[in-house]
Amino acid sequence: MLRSVAIFSSGFSQRTVKVIRHIVSDFSSKGIKLFIYDRTGEYIKHDAGRKAEYFSDPADLPAGIDIILSIGGDGTFLETMMMVKNLHLPVAGINTGRLGFLANIYEEEICQSLDRLYNLDFDLVERSLLEITEPAGKFGGYDPSALNEVTVQKSGLSMITIHLYNDDVYINTYRADGLIISTATGSTAYNLSAGGPILPPDNNSIIISPISAHNLTVRPIVLPGTARLKLIMEGRNNEYIATCDYRVEKFPYSQQLQVIQSAEKLKTVMLRGRDFYSTLRDKLMWGADKRN
């Protein structure tokens, strides 16, 4: 049985607040110890929130927490990942956003889903992360890790030229609007929109997909998770844009980028009876055919 749960949300729509109140009421009645992120708790402190404790820094969370609930959409899920990555807490996403591919517990099934979580009727899926190692230090003020993707993009109207290496082995030169370096988890995000392949989330490969390449022969490629990528950029402007999931920075062209697969993994919750392929069919209409 679940004994201790943390709750995080960064969006506070009526739907989200309603779901948080329901979770706090349900889990409190089951005797579960609850820890709610401060900003989230502000919306429920006067009613259901009295049954919980609050935290502002994940490092202050006590040991022994079983899972953290991410209430919102996939953007909230990515924020939750950044908060607890170093704590190795499994993340369960409850969708109150739009598509909710990562946040795959449905709002309309919240009652039975909470019971299943309480009874540990779920599996943990380990997902690989990317890490920017050059430039060193934080990215956008945060840990330089990405669950979905790292991208390099042009900062103006003209295309960017990107020379890609694995260690010192030359791979290719891309003349395009940008380049996506994606995890398997991110294969259904920006990579999908750019025509890249879809991989199941427990796959450790790295996907390279160009964004609007000005070349008919350039296609996405899948590299092993051991790849150590170096990107050297050229362009007509003074700088290029780099993203690490939802965080954005600009760098001069003299700054190369190095990206590896992180030694850390993120554990996510998947209710039993559900799987990656059913989510593909339900959320992205994969394989939709009236004959099926």
Residues 113 and 78 both lie in one domain: yes
Q: What is the pLDDT of residue 291?
A: 82
pLDDT per residue over 55-84, tens digit each?
888 888 888 999 999 999 999 999 999 888
- Please tell me whether residues 159 and 39 are part of one structural domain: no
Nearest by Cα to 118 from 51, 30, 33, 21: 30
Q: Which residue has the tokens 């799987």?
A: 275
**Sign, CA torsion 214/187/69/18:** positive
What are the φ/ψ torsions at residue 112 (nearest 5 degrees)?
-70, -30
Q: What is the pLDDT of residue 108?
A: 87
Residue 287 inside a domain? The answer is: no
pLDDT of residue 53: 87
Domain count, the chain: 2
Residue 49 in domain: yes
User: Is the whole model's pTM more than 0.85, yes or no?
Assistant: yes
Choose the catalytic residue: 38, 57, 60, 74: 74
Distance of CA 174 to the CA centre of its chain: 26
* Residue 44 located in a structural domain: yes
Same structural domain, 73 and 102: yes
Tell me what pLDDT residue 51 has.
74
Q: In this predicted model, which residue has the larger pLDDT, 12 or 219? A: 219
Which CATH number does the domain housing residue 116 bear? 3.40.50.10330
* pLDDT for res 43: 66
Percentage of the chain surpassing pLDDT 90? 68
Predicted confidence band at 48 (pLDDT cuts at 50, 70, 90)? low
> For residue 161, what are the domain limits?
129-264
Strand partners, 203: none
Looking at this protein, which amino acid is placed at residue 98?
R
Is 57 a catalytic site residue?
Answer: no
Residue 292 lies in a domain: no
| Span 248-261, pLDDT tens digits | 999 999 999 999 99
The per-residue pLDDT for 14 is: 83
- What are the pLDDT digits (tens) for 108-157? 899 999 999 999 999 999 999 999 999 999 887 888 999 999 999 999 99
Residues 112 and 139 in one domain: no
Q: What is the CATH number of the domain that holds 182?
A: 2.60.200.30
- Least confidently predicted of 48-62, 159-173, 218-232: 48-62
